[in-house]
Amino acid sequence: MTTTEIHSESKGFLTSALITVARVLVSVFVPIVAFGILWAGFIFLRDSNAPQGVIAVVAILWGVGGVAMLFWVSDWVVNRTPLHVAKKLQPFVFVGPALAILAWYLFLPTVRSLYLSFFDAQSNNFVGLQNYVFAFTDPKMLESFVNNLMWIVLGTGGAVGFGLLIALLADRVKLEKAFKSLIFMPMAISFVGAGVIWRFVYAYKPMGEDQIGLLNAVVTFFGIEPQAWFTMSGWNNVFLIIILVWLQTGYAMVIISAALKGVPSSIIEAGRIDGAGEIRIIRSIVIPYIASTLVTVSTTIIIISLKIFDIVFTMTNGNYGTEVIASMQYKQMFRFLHYGRGSAIAIVLVLAVIPVMWYNLRQFGKREGF
Amino acid sequence: MKRVVLVLLIALLALPSMFAGGQADAQEPAAKTVHVFGAFVDEEARRFEEAIKPFEERTGIDVVYEGSKDFETLISVRVEGGNPPDIAGLPQPGLMVNFASQGKLVPMWDSLLDTVEANYAPVWKDLGSYNDVPYGVFHRVNAKSFVWYPKKAWARAGYEVPTTWNEMIALMDKMVANGHTPWSIGIEAGGATGWVGTDWVEDVMLRTVGPDVYDQWVNHEIPFNAPEVKEAFEIIGDIWLNPNYVYGGTNTILTQSYTDSPRTMFDNPPRSWMHRQGNFVTGFLPDAIQANLEEEVGVFPLPAINEEFGIPVLGGGDQFVVFNDRPEVREFMEFLATWESGEIWAARGGALFPYLNQDLNAYPNEIERSLAEALVNAKVFRFDASDLMPGQVGAGSFWTGIVDWVNGKPLDTMLAEVERSWP
């Protein structure tokens, strides 16, 4: 690394030039060889008829070995450069792959979606803003905007509200850990899994048959007619949102609970001495103190509500007036193969999420990398 | 560490070259192979393979069938990626039109065309054509215009098969008077909820205004909210929206899955007495009923409304199209156009075939025999309209329109919305 300067003085100019040229050649050659090896592995994995076991082993070698090799080679190349350059390049050896993956899987597709959103169904003809006009005038789209708003207000309100309530209450009981674990458990279930579970809660059978749905079993026990929950327009959205609340309350509770532990008892005691009751203390001391946590949790759940798809898709498939933006996007894109409209709706969704995300990140930043 | 990396590198280099050699060897024996890609899987795929065995034994050509539930997405990806199968079985005519318009398909050659013209009713050739050039050969098909009923319960109650629409309405009223619920209807089908309803509309359209107007409707030469379409919906609404006629009323229509809904006919006593569905419905019936199909289940064609059009049959089917023109591919296509390719599957049950010269005795029971007979003898056969309409309508607003209408949306509003959604 640092030998260049010493050698160039003791030996002649020619030697040092030769060494430099050789170094540049090696620096170019090694990455090319590395790339060639990776490419050969890729071609083999793509086209080979070898037994599956062999392919699996090669895939693991290629994947893990390839990453190790890429790192090793790029580190080696960076170390060939003069020290002050190497210092500047080194971080990118580590951060580079992440940036490259982000660019490839997130940035490029977004740009491409934006591009496609100005074209027709087969992406052949430029149609200007027509797809966006569709996105903001189609009755089903308007329905999904209203529904998404409902998801944001009720879903976020419900999850954060219950999370806060449970965190406050759990703080005061002996079995805090057990209670919190129970509430937190649904977090481990995927949205689709939750959909399957809740189908059994909301299942409907006509009067006179055995009610296999929990809710209808309860309702009929009290002598009321069984209800087809999903077909009640307006209310069916609430029934779906309850599932999100069930899933996300645990998350809100855990984060809020952690913040609660950080409220200094001295302030609370000071409040008590000044004669404040429990409610007053919570309202005027605890909540302002954990406000930034509440904001962070809320924005996270708002983003989830904006992007909500799985629950609607598994439960009602957007029927009976429960359509949301993401389900409309899926239908346009994959069922009707209208790439223009699908992309336009995706871009609208991205634009809706970005401000919330930005606000969320700023909150995270304020809290010193949470 | 460096040594380990070196060993890894060498291993990476060596392995592919080893198997690259092996690969060439494997492809050496020049057994002729035809790759077929289709939408049916599991049991149906097995029956297809059984059905084509005589061809493989006779010619020595190896036919490799591969089925996928995501067929419709995958076939487009494979064709666009320049890696199409030799032959594909397309469930939707729209896919054939897509590929044909892109010039990806091999049109029928003369000898195949002669076989098809001899063995099929003209409608099948037309369904497989784009711009008057024939491409697709139909093999297994389905027919949907049938009403199923619990035979034993009907005999006990003294009900008789109606031959006209008015007789059917009279029978329904008689059932209601006896305290019976005539129909069981369920349109829930996950992501495809509503398709059962589209079949009803299509069947009624064919019966009230006939095949010509039906074709205009499919091609959007009359609007979706034309009076003819509205009339069909109203005729259905007279049955569907009348809680006396349908088991469980509209809520059950919406929430009961189409596979569950025929089962209520075989409760004791029956909760419902009739069910309109395609020939594939037998697969949804309780095991005990399936085991004893001929004695338990009766079936009649959905009766005519306008005598002029007789009893039309609505149906669908997979058409096989050629992507790669090779002699063995041609040979297999010509085999598919003959009754010989369906005979074994017909005998195993669960499939109907459209061949004019088929032997109806091959079907395993009286029910499938009568369906095949109705299919072959139908003066009017039409493909499922929702499969022919653009996806925005046929797999979108038509389905959701049915759902919204049953759930209380006014008919005119709904029809206007579907019309607006036509691309």
- d(C-alpha B416, C-alpha B406), whole Å: 16
Q: What is the mean pLDDT of residues B342-348?
A: 90
Q: What is the pLDDT of residue B108?
A: 94
Mutate to test the interface with B, among A73, A123, A335 (most CBs of B within 10 A): A335
Top residue of A30, A33, A43, A44 to mutate, by most chain B CBs within 10 Å, is A44
Residue A314 reports pLDDT greater than 90: no
Average pLDDT in the B56-70 region? 90
Q: What is the pTM of this model?
A: 0.79
Alpha helix (H) ranges present in B241-313? 249-255, 287-290, 293-296
**Sign of the dihedral defined by the CA atoms of residues B364, B366, B371, B373, in that order:** positive
- The pLDDT of residue A370 is above 50: no
Parallel, antiparallel, or unpaired: how do β-strands B146-150 and B297-301 relate? antiparallel
Shortest CB distance from B8 goes to which of A65, A230, A331? A65
Proportion of chain B above pLDDT 90, given as a percent: 59
**pLDDT at position B14:** 52
pLDDT at B12: 52
Tell if the CB–CB gap between A231 and B8 is shorter than 8 Å. Answer: no
Whether the per-residue pLDDT at B23 is higher than 50: the answer is: no
Share the mean pLDDT of chain A. Answer: 86
Residue A14: the pLDDT is 81
Identify the band that residue A97 occupies on the pLDDT scale cut at 50, 70 and 90: confident
Query: What pLDDT is stored for residue B93 in this prediction?
Result: 85
Three-class SS of residue B308? helix
* Residue of A272, A258, A106 lying closest to A167 (CA atoms): A258
Q: What is the residue whose two structure tokens read 């809100």?
A: A252
Q: Quote ipTM for the complex.
A: 0.75
Q: Tell me which residue in B12, B194, B404 faces A61 most closely, judged by beta carbons.
A: B12
Does A76 lie at the interface with B, CB-CB under 8 angstroms? no
Reported residue count of chain B is 423
Confidence of residue A208 (pLDDT cuts 50, 70, 90): confident
Per-residue model confidence (pLDDT) at position B176: 95
**Helical residues (DSSP H) of B130-283, grouped into ranges:** 151-157, 165-177, 195-208, 210-218, 227-240, 249-255
User: Which parts of B1-109 fold into alpha helices (H)?
Assistant: 2-27, 42-51, 53-59, 71-80, 93-101
The answer to whether A50 contacts B19, with C-beta atoms less than 8 Å apart, is yes
Q: What is the pLDDT of residue B24?
A: 40
Residue B6's pLDDT is what? 54
Dist. CA A323–CA A345, nearest whole Å: 13
Q: What is the predicted pLDDT for the residue at A302?
A: 93
Please give the DSSP secondary-structure letter assigned to residue A213. S
Q: What is the pLDDT of residues A215-244, one digit of tens each?
A: 999 988 898 888 889 888 889 999 999 999
pLDDT recorded at residue B107: 94
Whose CA is closest to B311, among B161, B174, B197?
B161
| pLDDT digits 0-9 by tens, A259-282 | 998 888 888 889 889 888 888 888
Residues 236-275 of A with CB under 8 A from B: none
| Statement: residue A17 has pLDDT above 70 | yes
Lowest mean pLDDT among A54-63, B101-110, B206-215: A54-63
B159 by Cβ neighbours in 10 Å (0-12 / 13-18 / 19+) ranks as buried
**Interchain contact, A48 vs B5, CB within 8 Å:** no
| Set of chain B residues whose Cβ sits within 8 Å of the Cβ of A337 | 391
pLDDT above 70 (res B223): yes
Q: Does the distance separating the beta carbons of B20 and A206 come in below 8 Å?
A: no
* Chain Cα centroid distance, residue B31: 34
By the 8 A CB rule, do B87 and B33 touch? no
pLDDT in tens, A70-94: 888 888 888 877 888 888 777 877 7
Query: pLDDT category, A11, cuts 50, 70, 90?
Result: low
CB contact under 8 A, B12 and A319: no
pLDDT beyond 80 at A3: no
Residue A91 CB: number of other CB atoms within 10 A?
10
- Assigned token pair, A213: 């749905």
Which pLDDT score, from 0 to 100, does residue B225 have? 93
Lowest mean pLDDT among A227-241, B25-39, B331-345, B388-402: B25-39
Where does the pLDDT of residue B307 fall: very low under 50, low under 70, confident under 90, or very high at 90 and above? confident
Residue with the larger pLDDT of the pair B10 and A295: A295
pLDDT at B26 over 60: no
Interface membership of A56 toward B (CB under 8 Å): no
Among candidate residues A333, A325, A313, the one with its CA nearest the CA of residue A112: A333
Residue A197 has pLDDT above 80, yes or no: yes
Show Cβ contacts of residue B374 under 8 Å, excluding neighbours closer than 6 positions: B143, B146, B301, B311, B313
B113-130 in b/e burial notation, b at 16+ Cβ within 10 A? eebbeebbbebbbebbbb
Tell me the pLDDT tens digit for each residue of B390-417: 888 888 899 999 999 999 999 999 999 9
Which candidate from A41, A121, A204 shows the least CB-CB separation from B251? A204
Residue B185, pLDDT > 80, answer yes
Identify all chain B residues contacting A139, using CB atoms and an 8 Å cutoff: 417
**Nearest-CA distance from A137 to chain B in Å?**
12
Distance from CA of A33 to the nearest CA of B (A): 10
Residue A65: is its pLDDT beyond 90?
A: no
Please give the interface size between A and B, counted as residue pairs whose CB atoms are below 8 Å apart: 103
| Cα(A196)–Cα(B137) distance, integer angstroms | 40
pLDDT of residue A5: 53
Residues in chain A: 370
Domains of chain B: 33-143+315-377 (3.40.190.10), 146-311+389-421 (3.40.190.10)
Torsion from C-alpha of A307, A311, A317, A320, nearest 10 degrees: -90
pLDDT tens string B363-377: 988 888 989 988 888
Q: Does A341 touch chain B (CB under 8 A)?
A: no
User: Using the beta-carbon criterion (under 8 Å), do A139 and B391 form an inter-chain contact?
Assistant: no
Q: Which residues pair with B188 in a beta bridge?
A: B257
End-to-end CA distance of chain A: 39
Residue B20 pLDDT grade (very low, low, confident, very high; cuts 50, 70, 90): very low
Determine the 3-state secondary structure of B164 from DSSP.
strand
Q: Which of B8, B27, B255 sits opposite A231 (nearest CB)?
A: B255
